[in-house]
Amino acid sequence: MSAPERIPPGSVSAADTGTDADAAELLAHGELTVRGRIRDASNAALFCTVALDGREATCIYKPVAGERPLWDFPDGTLAGREVAAYEVSKATGWDLIPPTVLRDGPYGEGMCQLWIEVSTDAELLALAEGEEAGDGWKAIGLAEVGEGQTALLVHADDDRLRRLAVLDAVINNADRKGGHLLPTGAGHLYGIDHGVSFNAENKLRTLLWGWAGETLTEDALTVLGALRDTLAEGGALAAKLTPLLTPAEIDATRARVGDLLATGRHPEPTGEWPAIPWPPV
């Protein structure tokens, strides 16, 4: 199978699927047809179309059978973690992750996520000269650029990225790379690839450290307060996460939300775990 780089002309993108609930229904119950393979993915990721009652969309299907074993995550759990991340995103109201479901497919059970058409116009990451990020940017750290030279890696001082940084702290995302940021032509920003999230141990690895230690926004604190309530025993989000995560992982998620509310600040690297994923993009 070939690896398509863009949605073929005439296919249906996220904007044509209606609400998130409509998209989730289509993803969960539509006929799934494999069209190609994303070859640079670390786990099997298949480019598909899904069709139901005259509606059609493009999507990514990641079968559990194609997941690469990891030393720090139980085998066969990455698809469920992707769905859990979507459920948390949906509960925030920020719409940061494309509609994602767990379903059966041509290669068995797997994660199915709406394909997002990406705009190449947005500038979210850059290399800067000197030691200061400059207006409109936040510093991440120094990056080697060849021949013993370094440059300052920066990300945009963007409210959309800041919300995503909060979500990553909640779900304990161990792999927030630049290539996992999907800006659209309509100005929306999505994050993808959340299979290595929700570990009970602190494993936050991200490029979005620009706000580390800074005070959380009022918007973020309001959302975190709502998450605390819906994650409580008997809460709606807790019920949705129960079949996807272990009790210890759900408890750890509650604890992370509680810690963010208690400190009122973005987390900082602890030094116990590499803070930036590799490769970063």
What's the rounded Cα separation, in Å, for the pair 205 and 56?
35
Q: What percent of the chain has pLDDT over 90?
A: 76
pLDDT for 248 equals 97
Q: What is the largest CA-CA distance in the chain?
A: 58
pLDDT digits (tens, 9 = 90+) for 164-177: 999 999 999 999 99
Residue partners of 10: CB distance under 8 A and separation at least 6: none
* The model scores a pTM over 0.85: yes
Question: Which tokens go with 258?
Answer: 């509680």
pLDDT band at 104; cut points 50, 70, 90: very high
Residue 202 backbone phi and psi in degrees, to 5: -70, 115
Q: Which of 72-86, 105-119, 132-146, 186-200 has the lowest average pLDDT?
A: 132-146
What's the rounded Cα separation, in Å, for the pair 253 and 135?
34
- DSSP E strands in the chain: the ranges are 31-37, 46-52, 55-63, 100-105, 108-114, 125-128, 137-146, 149-156, 181-183, 189-191
pLDDT digits (tens, 9 = 90+) for 222-236: 999 999 999 999 999
pLDDT for 279 equals 73
- Region 257-280: mean pLDDT is 90
Position 273 pLDDT exceeds 90: no
- Region 48-60: mean pLDDT is 96
CA 115 to chain CA centroid, nearest Å: 13
- Region 249-256: mean pLDDT is 98
pLDDT for 17 equals 62
pLDDT for 222 equals 98
- Region 181-205: mean pLDDT is 96
Task: Write down the mean pLDDT value for the chain.
Answer: 90
